Every structure is written in structure tokens, then in C-alpha cells.
Amino acid sequence: MQNKSSRNKTITVNKEDNFPILELRKEDDYKNKIFFGNCITEMKKLQDGIVDLIVTDPPYTMYKDFGEGSVSIKEKEFTNWCKEWIDECFRVLKENGSIYICINWEASSIIEKLLKKQFTIRNRITWKRDKGRGAKQNWKNNMEDIWYATKSDNYTFNLENVKIEKQVIAPYVDKKGNPKDWKIVDGKKVRMTHPSNIWTDLVVPFWSMAENTEHPTQKPEKLIERIILASSNKNELVFDPFMGSGTTAVVAKKLKRNYLGFEIEKRFYNLINKRLLKST
């Protein structure tokens, strides 16, 4: 086996990384913990309305190769499965809570239809996920959707926490010639402006980044950070039913939020716990 480069910071799971299996037993014993098991089964153990924010990236590899003709059995099964966990998400979410679901373009319309049945969809965010060399006979797929919805019209959105710096092309001044809603930073005229629903400033984690893990569909910490900052406050509970690489929990911890999550694969369950130990 080839030795890993000293620049390779990827977090991997070794034989000695064997964390105790944590099963959800008490309704009051769920904050800042990752539980092992099927999220649909485990969510049923949670009380109604305890979660402030849900951020999740469900597996969607089953949604492919349907062939021609009518809606396939696979698609029906996938839709029914999504309905189960989305229904549970609605139940455990507080009335003023929000949900963000990351999904690929093939399954995006299914998530949209299911959310509309109970939630109020606020936006569809599209982010540039540029990774890999691309297809030989197709356009390279470098985007994913993030559906943003709320349980009611009373919800958290901290706009000031997620404004972005943008260069001013035609700066306005007041009657005295002073900058109007802009400032000079490093010789450039900039203003803090509202973020859009097209995110092109994010980098998919790679081998030389400290946040990188061996999980195949890991999301960037900056992406999850933007969501958590916008739609939750300190000490609130952020929930991810498909914890995967653990990014939601790690970022919530860094931002002084409580976290809760489930993971069904033992390898990634160990990976999440290992990563949480490293995070500060």
C-alpha cells in the first residue's frame, strides 16, 4: 500500500476507531449526540416539535436508471421512502423551524412535491459542486439543489449573518460626497449585499483540506455554516437525520448550536465521532 502524502489531511477510519454504539432511549437525552440506526425508526422516538433547524443530505443513488415508459417501481419506492422521513421531519420540527434538503437534479422534483404537501417552500438554492473530470458524452454535472422550506410563516432568517461582500461598480454618494452604503477595503469599493440563491463560491472538500473525509458525498463546512447562521440561533438544536460525514454536527458545534443526528452505516458512525473529537 502506498503511504499517504504528508499533505493529505483526509480523516479516515482505522481499526482502532471503534466508538460505542449509542442508541436513542430517553426523550431528554438527545442533545449533542449521534445515534446509530435507521433515521425513520429512530425519529419516531423523538417528541413532537423539539428541533429548530433540519439540514440534511439524504442518499439518492437509488434514484437512477429507471428506463423508459411509465414511472418505475424504483421511483415509487424512493418517493414513498422520502415521504416517510419528510413526514417525521415535519413532526419533530418546531412551528418556527426550517428545513434544508440537499439533492441532485434527478430527484429534486420529488423532494419539491413532497415538501409542498406540508411545508412552505421559501427557495431553491443551487450550488456549484465542481468535482471530477466530467462525462464523455454529456455535460459535466457540477450542481446540486438545496430546497429551503419552513413549517410556518414565523421563522428565523438572520440576514445580517450571511450578507456577502460585493464590489461596487457605480458607487453612490450622499450630498456631502460620503460613501452611501459602501466602503473602501484594500483599495476596492465594496458593500455588504444580500446573498442570492446561486452559490458559486464553495469548494468541495479535497485531500489537502483539514475538513476532508473519506465520505463520498461530503458537503463543504462553509455551505452548512451559511445555512446554520441564517436559520438558527446559538443554543438551538440542529438536526440531521442522515449525518453521513458529520459536517452538520461539526459546524453546529463550532457555531455554539446543539446538534442531533442519526447514521445507519457503522463506518461513517465512527467517522463522525472521530471528527467531532477533532473539532473545536
Question: Given this model, what pLDDT does residue 66 score?
Answer: 45
Among 21, 2, 4, 1, smallest CA distance to 214 is for: 4
Burial class (CB in 10 A: 0-12, 13-18, 19+), 13: buried
Task: Write out pLDDT tens, residues 220-274.
Answer: 999 999 999 999 999 999 999 999 999 999 999 999 999 999 999 999 999 999 9
Task: List CB contacts of 268: < 8 A, sequence separation 6 or more.
Answer: 215, 243, 244, 245, 246
- For residues 196-213, average pLDDT: 89
Residue 204 pLDDT greater than 70, yes or no: yes
Q: What per-residue confidence (pLDDT) applies to 170? A: 58
User: What's the pLDDT score for residue 3?
Assistant: 66
- Distance between first and last Cα of the chain: 32
pTM for the predicted model, two decimal places: 0.90
Percent of the chain with pLDDT over 90: 61
pLDDT of residue 62 exceeding 60, the answer is: no
- According to the model, what pLDDT value does residue 1 have? 47
Q: Whole-angstrom Cα distance, residue 78 to residue 70?
A: 15
Instruction: Count CB-CB contacts under 10 A for residue 61.
Output: 9
* Cell of residue 236, nine digits: 438551538
Please state the φ and ψ torsions of residue 49, each to the nearest 5 degrees.
Answer: 60, 45
Cα–Cα distance for residue pair 23/11, rounded to 1 Å: 24
Cell triple for residue 155? 421563522
Domains and their CATH numbers in the chain:
33-158+196-278 (3.40.50.150)
What is the pLDDT averaged over residues 180-198?
79
In contact, 112 and 147? CB cutoff 8 Å? yes
pLDDT digits (tens, 9 = 90+) for 133-176: 777 888 888 899 999 999 999 999 999 999 988 877 657 666 65
Q: Which three cell numbers stand for residue 179?
A: 460613501
Count Cβ atoms below 10 Å from residue 79 Cβ, excluding itself: 16
Name residues whose C-beta falls within 8 Å of residue 91's C-beta, 6 or more positions apart in sequence: 43, 48, 49
Identity of the residue numbered 260 = L
Residues 53, 97: contact at Cβ < 8 Å? yes
State residue 44's pLDDT score: 94
Predicted confidence band at 106 (pLDDT cuts at 50, 70, 90)?
confident
For residue 57, give Cα distances in angstroms to 11, 25, 45, 100, 217: 19, 25, 21, 9, 9
pLDDT, tens digit, 9 for 90 and up, residues 78-101? 999 999 999 999 999 999 999 999
CA distances from 230 to 82, 108, 131, 223, 224 (A): 25, 22, 26, 11, 10
